[in-house]
Chain A
Amino acid sequence: MTISPGTTTSLRVPARVLVVGDAAGDRDTLCRHVQKEGHFAYAAGPGGEALERLRAERFDLVLLDVQMPGMDGPGFLEALRHDAELAQVPVIVVSADMDVIAQCLESGAHDWLPGGFGPAMLRARLGAALDRRRVRDARSLRREMDVARNIQRDFLPESLPVAMGVQLEAALHPARQVSGDFYDAFVLAPSGTIVLVVGDVCDKGVGAALFMALFRSLIRASADPVGGGAIQMIGGRRTLVRQSLEAATPADLLTRVAGFTNDYIARLHGRTNMFATVFLAALTPNTGQFDYVNAGHEPALVIAPDGAIRELRPTGPALGLLPDQGFGAGEGRLERGHCLFAFTDGLVEARNPAGEAFGGARLQAALRANDTSAPTLVRSVIETLHAFTGPAEPHDDVTLLAATRTIG
């Protein structure tokens, strides 16, 4: 057993240590030693009492005092190992008897202290055990987050639709392992209308990521009940429903999708107070005609090849705030070479090391700097952004979606 260099630093974070033994006086002495090292110490009698305490509260470490002959160290350790939760808690055995120590190590104890140990030895053993536990916890959390990130990828389109006359490009850069941003692009059959979605769930991290999956699914399933499979629910009336959906104008469809998604979140998940700002557009590739609903989102932009920029401002509030909100729709037309560019606020709010925000003016300059093809615009905006922020940690997710009309 060597003293790891991390030992002293780890002691700066106080741990919760449960001292288990059958002699109250010895337990109290051990507790005082542990407290002197800057940790919280709690005492419990052996067997059921200690197990109950461990199940009820979170402890970082158990100090098991087996100095008294009546104390069944191996028995206690076996009981711990049979409980999946408790098996994770490291145990240090205290005994003067090397045979007892050996039995306890075989029964799953992580380390030991001889009777009559001094403060330096206690500090070293506590520190090493707590360090190991922290590394294991961090590893297991990282594994879980990797799994979450991989699953989350499945909530973004695997590829963007290829449609005659419209070129699409998208990018999503999460600030953390999982993201509250999302985008989507899909073609409605048989009209060929392309639905474009960019959304930003409030806050960041795991909570936002869970709701990202929900928002994206509600939007996709309600906007495309045929492709998304929701229409199967209606059974025999399939043809009629399909006809009624096809008769709806794209603007009707988008406002219905916004209303449905808003009410679902506000009514069924009102307690969590989660909401998302979402830009939705339905683009007809043949004509370049598009309708949009902007639910509390950053204005999307239409960029003309001559550098003229039109803002598509909100037509309703963010989705999920309160039930029964009204959503309007706007419309426009993409001429040849015009680009519809939607993004999340992580782009304009990104900061450089001096604390300045990227801002709308820099974005517009980057959009005017090159030609308006979708891949060029997305690439040049991302490059300009990275040149601006430098190595600074991104403070929010950044998502871009560009649709450029190539005919007309």
Chain B
Amino acid sequence: MQTSVDRRGDVVTVHIAGSVDGLTAEGLQQVFTGELAAQHHNLVADFGGVEYTSSAGLRVLLATLKQARSRGGDLRLAGLNPDVLKVLELSGFTTILSVFDTVDGAVKSFGGRG
């Protein structure tokens, strides 16, 4: 798994590529924790390059979502491939977090401050 980060206004997008599983989930958590520590609370996770996520990856999303919201921000998802979207739908994650087709849509959803 690889990640890169870019920032538009007060929205930070974490682009993720590869598999998010038990081995790589901690690395992804560190990226999000770092952004939250830097007072970036409006987060977009770009899943465009993610072919698989295990429940360990979902746990990272849950932790980040709760932390971002407790600080007045949010975590929103974009670019999910059909298999990954299916995992999120089955487990009920799509009912607790917002999913967008594109990164652009997710960034703009934060109120056009991007």
Contact = CB atoms under 8 A, between A and B. Distances in A.
Contacts of B91: 275, 277, 296, 314, 317-318
A203 interface: yes
Contact of A273 (B63, B90, B92, B96): B63
Contacts of A200: 55
Chief secondary structure at chain B's binding surface? helix
A321 B55 contact: no
Contact of B90 (A202, A298, A396): A298
Residue of A204, A273, A298 ringed by the most chain B CB atoms within 10 A: A273
Contact of B96 (A203, A297, A321): A321
Given A274-B59, A296-B91, A296-B92, A203 B22 contact: yes
Given A270-B66, A273-B66, A322-B96, A314 B59 contact: no
B93 interface: yes
Nearest to A203: B56
A204 B90 contact: no
Given A297-B90, A318-B91, A322-B96, A275 B66 contact: no
B55 A317 contact: no
A296 B86 CA distance: 11
Nearest to A299: B90
B4 interface: no
Given A204-B22, A270-B66, A314 B58 contact: no
Given A202-B55, A203-B55, A275 B90 contact: no
Contacts of B54: 203, 396
A136 B91 CA distance: 41
Contacts of A314: 90-92
B23 to A, nearest CB: 10
B36 interface: no
A321 B22 contact: no
A127 interface: no
B62 interface: yes
A274 B66 CA distance: 12
Contacts of B93: 317-318, 321
A318 B90 CA distance: 8
Interface residues of A, number: 23
Interface residues of B, number: 16
Contact of B92 (A202, A274, A299, A318): A318
Nearest to B83: A357
A316 interface: yes
A270 to B, nearest CB: 7
Q: Which of B55, B62, B90 has the most chain A CB atoms inside 10 A of its CB?
A: B55
Nearest to B89: A314
Given A204-B22, A270-B66, A318-B91, A275 B59 contact: yes
Nearest to A396: B54
Contacts of B25: 203
Contacts of B95: 317, 325
A28 to B, nearest CB: 36
Interface string A269-304: 010011101000000000000000001111100000
Contacts of A273: 59, 62-63, 66
Interface in A92-106: none
Interface in B57-108: 58-59, 62-63, 66, 90-93, 95-96
Given A203-B22, A203-B55, 17 more contacts: A202-B56, A202-B59, A203-B25, A203-B54, A203-B59, A205-B22, A273-B66, A274-B59, A275-B58, A275-B91, A277-B90, A314-B91, A317-B93, A317-B96, A318-B92, A321-B62, A321-B92
Interface of B: 22, 25, 54-56, 58-59, 62-63, 66, 90-93, 95-96
30 contacts: A202-B55, A202-B56, A202-B58, A203-B25, A203-B56, A203-B59, A204-B22, A204-B56, A205-B22, A273-B59, A273-B66, A277-B55, A277-B90, A277-B91, A295-B92, A297-B90, A314-B90, A314-B92, A317-B91, A317-B93, A317-B95, A318-B91, A318-B93, A321-B62, A321-B92, A321-B96, A322-B66, A322-B96, A325-B92, A325-B95
Nearest 5 CB-CB pairings of A with B: A317-B92, A202-B55, A296-B91, A273-B63, A296-B92
